[in-house]
Structure 1
C-alpha cells in the first residue's frame, strides 16, 4: 500500500522493492547534499559581494572560502578555515525547516514570489539589448562547439533539483491526484521559461 504522502524512496519501496528504494534513497541524499552545498556556497559569494558593494565591508577570505579546493585536476589546501556564510545560511534554513511545513511553505512562497519578480524585471529590462547577430553561429566552435554546449547544459542540473520533493507535500494538497502532477509540470515549465529567458 502506497501512503498518501511520501517521497521517491517511499514510492520505490512500495512498487519495486527494498533494494531499489535503498539505492534511490542514497541517490536522493547525494542529490540534496550536492545541491545544498552548491547553493549555500553560491549564496556566500553573493553575500560577500553584497557586503563589499553596499557597505564597503570586506569579509576575511579565510572565513569565506573552503580549506580544500579543486584546481588543475588535484585537491589543494588553502589557508582558509571554512566558509562561514555558507554554514550560516545552512543553519538558518535547517532551523526554519524545523518549525514545520506551514511556516516553511509560507516563507518559501514569499521568497519564490520575490525571486520570480526580480527575474521578470531583469528579463524584460534586457529585451531592448538583445542582438540577433550574436546567435550566428548558434554553436560557435571557439567556445567548445557541441562539447562546450553540453558542458553549459550540465549546469541546468541545478535548476531542476528538488522537483521530486513536491511529492512529499501530497498530504498538504486538497486533491493530490490532480494538483501534484499539475504543480510539478507547471514548475518545470515556468523554471524552463525563466532559465531560457535569463540565458
Structure 2
C-alpha cells in the first residue's frame, strides 16, 4: 500500500507474506554480539594509527566526537527500528517516511558502504592471514596475495587476492546455513576480540607517560591541508575514525529475525554502541599514552607495533593471531546487513524480485550468494584503495536519513506506538544530522566526488529501471 504519488510516494510498513518472511531466531545477546562484532574490528586495529597521524594525541578527542555523533544516530535507529520492525534498515524507514526516491538514494548508498567495508576488511584479513601462513612456512605466490597494485593511478602489478576470496566465500556459506548458527559463532569470535583488546590495555597502560600527550593537538581542530598534502586536524581524524564506529546499523537489518524486536533491537543497537565507545576510548588512551604518536601513526598495525616497541613481541603476536581469528566477525555482520538490504529492495521490486526468495531454513540464500559474489569482485580483483573511504559517505547519508525520519515521525504521528523512545529526541536528532553533515564536509574531497558520482549512477538506474517496476 502506497501513500502519495510519483517519486516521493511512501510505502506503508507491514510484515511481508509468509513465503518472503525471514525466520525469527535472534535474541538480544545475539544482536549485541552482532553489533560489537561489526563495530570492533579493522577500525580500532588500524585506524587508530591513521587518526593519530592526522590529529596527534588529540585522536582521543576524535574518538569521542565520532562516538558521540554515532551515539545520537544509534538512538534514532533504536526508535525507528522498534517502530518499524522489518528488514531494510535506513532504506525501509526512508521509504515509509520520506518517499521512494530518497529511499533509493539511501539504499544505493548503503550498498556501496557495505560492499566496500566487507571488501576492505577481507583484504585486511588477507594481510594478517598471509603473515600468519608465512610464520608457519607456507608461502603463497605473491600474485595470489593481493589485487592489482596502483602506482600514480596506473596498474603496476596484476594479481588476485585469493585469501580474501576464500574468507568471503566461507562467511557467505555460514550465513546460508542459518542466521542463528552464524550469530552463535559470531558471539564466540567477538569474545576473542574483546580478550585481545583487554590484553593490549593491561600491557600498555603501565607505560602511560603524560609527556606523550604534549602537544595535545598539534594540527588544530578543523580540517586543514598540511604542507605534506595530507588533510589533518581533529575533525579530519574524526571523519576517518568514524569508520571504526559504524556497524550497529547492521542490527536494524535484523528486525524481522529478532524474537522480540520491540525490546531486543533497542538493547542491541544502544548497548553495542555504548560498549564500543568505552572500549575505543580506553584503547586510544592506552595507545597514545604508551608511545609517541609519531612512532606508530603510519603503521598498518599500530597496536601490534606499540607492543613490540614496548618489548612485548609475544603479546603482539597474540594480538595479530586474534585478528586473524576474529576479524571475520566484521565480514559476517556487514555481509549479513548488505544481503538483507538487497533482499528488501528486491522484495519491493526495485531490484529483480527473484532475488527475494527465502530457503526452508528462513534465510535469503540467493541474495546472500549474489552479495558475496559482488564483494569478491571488489576484494579479489579490483584496486580498492582509492575508493574505500566512500563507505563513510554512504553511512553518513544513512545516519542523516534515519535521524530525519525520527523527527518527521515525531511530528507526523506523535501518538504512534514507540517501544523505545529516544530521550530529548529533537536534541539527539539535531546532533546526529549536524554532526554527520560536519563529518561529511571533513571527508577528503576525492571521497565526496566519488560519492556524488556513485549516486548519479544510482539515480540513472532508478529512473531507467527501478521506478518503472513499481509504477
Match for residue 204 of structure 2 among 120, 126, 129? 126
Distance of aligned partners of 1:193 and 1:146 in 2 relative to their CA distance in 1, 3 Å threshold? farther
State how far apart, in whole Å, the 1-side matches of 2:173 and 2:253 are: 19
1:151 to partner: Cα distance: 4.1
Work out which of the residue numbers 147, 150, 159 in structure 2 matches 1:66.
147
Q: Distance in 1 between matches of 2:176 and 2:157?
A: 34
Alignment of 1:119-198 (within 5 A): 119-141=197-219, 147-198=232-283
* 1:142-189 Cα shifts (integer Å, max 9, x gaps): xx6982544433332332232212112223334322332232122112
- Alignment match, 2:138: 57
* C-alpha RMSD of matched pairs (Å): 2.3
Unaligned segments of structure 2, at least 5 residues: 1-11, 15-84, 220-225, 285-471
Matches within 5 A, 1:73-112: 74-112=152-190
CA distance in 2, matches of 1:60, 1:47: 14
CA–CA distance in structure 2, aligned partners of residues 154 and 64 of structure 1: 30
The 2-side partners of 1:153 and 1:61 are apart by 35
**Residue 67 of structure 1 contacts residue 80 of structure 1 at CA under 8 Å; is this kept in 2?**
yes
Deviations 1:44-98 (A, max 9, x none): 0101111123x133332211111143x4xx3221333211111111111111111
Cα distance between partner residues in 2 of 1:146 and 1:133: 25
More relative contact order, 1 or 2 (CA 8 Å, 6+ apart):
2
Match of 2:13 in 1: 2
Report the TM-score, using the length of structure 2 for normalisation: 0.39
CA distance in 2, matches of 1:153, 1:49: 30
Aligned length: 194
Indicate the residue corresponding to 2:98 in structure 1.
16
Q: TM-score, with normalisation over the residues of structure 1?
A: 0.86
